[in-house]
Amino acid sequence: MTAPQYMAIARKWRPQTFDEVVGQDHITRTLTNAIKSGRIHHAFLFIGSRGIGKTTTARILAKALNCTSSDAPTISPCNTCDNCVSISAGNNIDVIEIDGASNNGVDDIRNIRDNIRMVPTSGRYKIYIIDEVHQLSPGAFNALLKTLEEPPSHGIFILATTEAHKIPATIISRCQRYDFRRVVVSDIVSLLKKILAKEKIKATDEALYAIARIAEGGVRDAQSILDELITYCEKQITFEDVFEVLGLVDWQYFHALCDAMLAGDVARQLEIIEEVVSAGKDLSQFVEDILRYYRNLLVCLTVGSSEMLLRLPQSEMDEMRKRAKRFSVVKLIRLVEQFAELVNGFDSQIAQRTALETLLIQLTRVDVEVSLDTVMEKLLLLGKGGIASNVQAVPESPPPNPPDAGPHKKAAAAPAPQPPPQSEPEKLSLGREEAVWREVVNRAGTRNAALGIHLGRVHPLGVDTDGVLTLAFEPGAEKAWSYFQKSKNRGLLEQMLQEETTNAQSVFFLEKTVPDNTAASEQATPTPKQDGEKPEAGDRYRRASKDPAVAVVLNEFRGKIVEIHDPTENAE
């Protein structure tokens, strides 16, 4: 007997029975049913990412088929007979493990074909486990196919691959296919807990969740990380240890980076990158962790009880919440999207997962049909009180009123000047409506993001005595146009106007262009109203703006219609 040796956790705790395989119940159930019913297929195809139990399950299956402690294949191999022991050790004479990457030629497979015909020496079956089978050459696949078509009754193939799409359909169709899943975080955590209990080592839940998250569904990776931590920590594993041992960037850096972003401090952010790089940290890992960090902030901000989702130490949860509150959902979605894009080149789980989560949050929380870029652009403009600056500058306009400092400040993550509160309803008066209008758009944005955004493409022409506010669309504002075609949206705007202004009660939208566009004059003039019928307020603006003479004047002086005096009305 050799002295007890240090044995890697992954090997030491490798599942030896179907029951011990973690997170692949759908597979072990099917396999055990097949064994119980005696319907053993001649070719199995195990598909799934690395380190989630394909080879382990293949060995358990081989033991189940060849265990000598029972008269027939059994769902619970004894793990003590010669066959079980040698299969577990990988040196059983009838169970041959082949690495498809290095034995991928025609001759390799022909050898297998010849050997599999020979009756097994000690077991019931001769079993070939071919790992990374997608690496076989086309010729080798052909040779394999011939064997799969006419297998000897004692021959069994277990093919394992991480890349099923590289396997010819003819091969796949001859196999029973099993898709292994990445293991969910909670399953990995309970596995790690079991191992730690037996190893008599303590660890905080946060540390275990951190390990499970970093392992991204891979049991073997999680076990290797735990292994490293046990060597390092000896008695108690903490959240901080996980970062320390894995050489990850200290958690505090992410808070610092976030604070610098909130403060608009670019220099500080670059300093942090410099510190991370000069500490020799892996930058691609760092980017993934930034992504994870902002994803966590997004979860904090959008999910009420985020503790269960994030599994961070309480002090960290507090820090995250504090920062999450300073962002808007839209800003965080934007950040997550952009960091995910940066990470995407690394083809990681976290990138795919955050992309999905972000989309869901976006679809749930941001009720707009426009692209996120447009949303951000508009919201940032709103934050700077500049949304109406899309309008042609009108020299005689008073300086823009500062935007509402109320709940709206949430929308702009970039540091925006903090203006004094101003929320009294105002008169949308002609001549200075630009400033008031900007205010209206700002408030609309805080009530309803979509309304605010679309209003940003609309410009006021004036309010008449009936309280009708006439509005024109910017050129190309197709989305705003279709948004306001819906009476619901129009109603939303009107309701807001009634509350926020003293005079505007309803709206009238001019057709799709602003009046300083000469193209307007080329469009068909509206049908004149019948004599005796008083033209509606909006109609008057529309007609005026389309009058060729007026259009020329507007264009020439970059002006706009401020007021319409109708001599017939005055005469009444």
Provide CB contacts within 8 A for 272, sequence distance 6+: 253, 256, 257, 260
**Mapping DSSP to helix (H, G, I), strand (E, B) and coil, where does residue 540 land?**
helix
Judged by CB under 5 A, does residue 70 bind Zn ion? Answer: no
Binding characters for Zn ion, 260-289, by CB under 5 A (x = yes):
------------------------------
Minimum gap (Å) between residue 136 Cβ and Zn ion: 31
Listed ranges 64-72, 102-110, 152-160, 477-485: which one lies at the site for Zn ion (CB under 5 A): 64-72
Task: Measure Cα distances from 44 to 54, 103, 265, 329, 398 in Å.
Answer: 11, 19, 57, 47, 78
Residue placing its CB nearer to Zn ion in the complex, 78 or 262: 78
Judged by CB under 5 A, does residue 84 bind Zn ion? Answer: yes
Minimum gap (Å) between residue 113 Cβ and Zn ion: 28
- Helix (H) or strand (E) segment spanning residue 503: none
Minimum gap (Å) between residue 64 Cβ and Zn ion: 9
Residue placing its CB nearer to Zn ion in the complex, 83 or 521: 83
Residue placing its CB nearer to Zn ion in the complex, 31 or 381: 31
Residue placing its CB nearer to Zn ion in the complex, 86 or 147: 86
Minimum gap (Å) between residue 121 Cβ and Zn ion: 15
Rounded-to-integer distance, Cα 22 and Cα 190, Å:
10
Number of residues that bind Zn ion (CB under 5 A): 6
**Mapping DSSP to helix (H, G, I), strand (E, B) and coil, where does residue 507 land?**
strand
Alpha helices in 448-530 (DSSP H): 449-455, 478-485, 487-500, 519-522
Listed ranges 84-92, 219-227, 237-245, 563-571: which one lies at the site for Zn ion (CB under 5 A): 84-92
Listed ranges 81-89, 180-188, 409-417, 542-550: which one lies at the site for Zn ion (CB under 5 A): 81-89
Minimum gap (Å) between residue 72 Cβ and Zn ion: 12
Residue placing its CB nearer to Zn ion in the complex, 120 or 218: 120
Rounded-to-integer distance, Cα 512 and Cα 108, Å:
72
- Residue 521 near residue 528 (C-beta atoms within 8 A): no
Closest alpha carbon to 498 in 487, 486, 506, 489 = 506
Minimum gap (Å) between residue 167 Cβ and Zn ion: 31
**Mapping DSSP to helix (H, G, I), strand (E, B) and coil, where does residue 403 land?**
coil
Provide CB contacts within 8 A for 89, sequence distance 6+: none
Q: Do you know the residue count of the chain?
A: 572
- Residue 508 near residue 537 (C-beta atoms within 8 A): yes
Judged by CB under 5 A, does residue 69 bind Zn ion? Answer: yes
User: Which regions of 37-181 does DSSP assign to beta strands (E)?
Assistant: 43-47, 95-99, 126-131, 155-161, 176-179
Task: Measure Cα distances from 133 to 43, 69, 104, 172, 178 in Å.
Answer: 13, 31, 8, 11, 14
Provide CB contacts within 8 A for 195, sequence distance 6+: 9, 13, 223, 226
Minimum gap (Å) between residue 15 Cβ and Zn ion: 15
Minimum gap (Å) between residue 192 Cβ and Zn ion: 28
Judged by CB under 5 A, does residue 9 bind Zn ion? Answer: no
Listed ranges 63-71, 114-122, 342-350, 487-495: which one lies at the site for Zn ion (CB under 5 A): 63-71
Listed ranges 77-85, 139-147, 327-335, 522-530: which one lies at the site for Zn ion (CB under 5 A): 77-85
Residue placing its CB nearer to Zn ion in the complex, 14 or 479: 14
Binding characters for Zn ion, 372-401, by CB under 5 A (x = yes):
------------------------------
Residue placing its CB nearer to Zn ion in the complex, 40 or 366: 40
Rounded-to-integer distance, Cα 430 and Cα 463, Å:
7
CB burial of 240-252 (b: ≥16 within 10 Å; e: otherwise) equals bbbbebbebbebe
**Mapping DSSP to helix (H, G, I), strand (E, B) and coil, where does residue 553 land?**
helix
- Helix (H) or strand (E) segment spanning residue 384: none
Judged by CB under 5 A, does residue 85 bind Zn ion? Answer: no
Judged by CB under 5 A, does residue 81 bind Zn ion? Answer: yes
Minimum gap (Å) between residue 191 Cβ and Zn ion: 24
Rounded-to-integer distance, Cα 369 and Cα 382, Å:
18
Q: Pairing between strand 458-463 and 468-473?
A: antiparallel
Residue placing its CB nearer to Zn ion in the complex, 20 or 275: 20
Listed ranges 66-74, 299-307, 541-549, 554-562: which one lies at the site for Zn ion (CB under 5 A): 66-74
Minimum gap (Å) between residue 195 Cβ and Zn ion: 24
Listed ranges 67-75, 283-291, 370-378, 455-463: which one lies at the site for Zn ion (CB under 5 A): 67-75
Residue placing its CB nearer to Zn ion in the complex, 90 or 528: 90
Judged by CB under 5 A, does residue 67 bind Zn ion? Answer: yes
Listed ranges 78-86, 305-313, 334-342, 547-555: which one lies at the site for Zn ion (CB under 5 A): 78-86
Rounded-to-integer distance, Cα 466 and Cα 506, Å:
9
Residue placing its CB nearer to Zn ion in the complex, 80 or 364: 80
Minimum gap (Å) between residue 93 Cβ and Zn ion: 15
Q: Which two tokens stand for residue 155?
A: 């021959």
Residue placing its CB nearer to Zn ion in the complex, 68 or 506: 68
Residue placing its CB nearer to Zn ion in the complex, 121 or 568: 121
Residue placing its CB nearer to Zn ion in the complex, 69 or 173: 69
Minimum gap (Å) between residue 69 Cβ and Zn ion: 5
Q: Which residues bind Zn ion (CB under 5 A)?
A: 67, 69, 77-78, 81, 84
